[in-house]
Amino acid sequence: MPTDWNELIEFTPQQYKEMFQRAVRASQVLTTDAEPEVGPTPKELIWTRNKTKLYRYISEGPKKHKIPLLLVYALINKPYVLDLTKGGSLVEYLVNRGFDVYLLDWGEPGYEDRNMKLDDYIMDYIPRAVRKVLRKSNVDEVSILGYCMGGTMTSIFAALHPELPIRNLIFMTSPFDFEKTGSYGAMLDERYFNIDKVVDTLGVIPPEMIDFGNKMINPVATNYGPFISLYERADNENFIKSFKLLQKWLNDGIQFPGEAYRQWIRDFYQNNKLIKGEMVIRGKKVNLENIKANVLNLAGKNDLIAQPHQVEALMNAISSEDKEYKCLPVGHTSITFGSQAVKITYPTIADWLEERSNE
């Protein structure tokens, strides 16, 4: 009798051997393979507030562009998706292109942070981070890149802080118009989804709940598709590396502060206040027309989370003279990780920013 998988494979009829080998390798990936290392680009911690940390990435080469770039991520998941692995990292690419790159990492909120609101992040945390970047880099202007919800929050911040010297804004798959959100709209309809009961009961929203909601947008493809692909491509170690990296990030969720979640669902998905000009943050009305910085607004053609029409809606709401909208042939995650990101997204961002980051 065979005593291990390799011996068992030897006893397998030839016509089934390749299938069995793929099945064995796939099971190893899911059960015994070590987790991949993430966040390889060196960085230094320069500021903290509560759980939030501001990092500056370290480069061995010279900084070629005067204006620093601050990356602002969403309150969902962890921001290392922007720096997953060598050769597949937006951060690494930008650093190697000579940019002075910073990252605002929200950290991992606990139950004690349940009363944190979007107001706190937008009015306290982002402005202080921007001022720290300006002082650390000894410059008079800054560029900001917001990804997903981080871009939506950045747009509100920029509209409410016209006094801050923001030269460039890059939005990456960030939703601004929430009128037609497809399955999200159906799931979050206030007639069926009682946001107050959810927040008042849980305090903080567990990552499993957020992940479940995202997967319900396309349940078969998101729940089973990755594992079918793993089996079919289990003889491709490059694919396996990417699979493990992405699965690590997707399964490494964080809690969502309850009050911020209440606002995100009610003010955006249920009432669409931002694009209507009805959003109020800490007593101040948000007017997107106040945004005058140079803007690059990127959507993903295959994005079901922030659909292209939700992203493009920003363009008619802002006052920027230099503004550009591009819909790339990617999805919500593949805009920042994967072969298309490396070939299309990274150079699109760097080329646009390079022209606008010097004197």
In 3D space, the residue among 218, 74, 50, 37 whose CA is nearest the CA of residue 124 turns out to be 50
Per the annotation, the verdict on 309 as an active-site residue is: no
Residue 115: phi and psi, rounded to 5, are -90, 5
Show the tokens assigned to 282: 């800490």
Pairing type for strands 52-57 and 43-49 reads: antiparallel
Which one of 65, 83, 105, 332 is the catalytic residue? 332
If you count them, how many residues does the chain have? Answer: 359
Show the tokens assigned to 328: 């790339």
Per the annotation, the verdict on 148 as an active-site residue is: yes
Q: Is the Cβ–Cβ distance between 134 and 323 less than 8 Å?
A: no
Which one of 83, 119, 148, 267 is the catalytic residue? 148
Q: H helices of 183-306, where? A: 183-188, 195-202, 207-215, 219-232, 237-250, 258-263, 273-276
Which one of 113, 119, 267, 303 is the catalytic residue? 303
Residue 257: beta bridge partners?
A: 204
- Three-state SS at 338: coil
In whole angstroms, what is the distance from residue 359 CA to residue 295 CA? 17
Positions marked active-site: 148, 303, 332
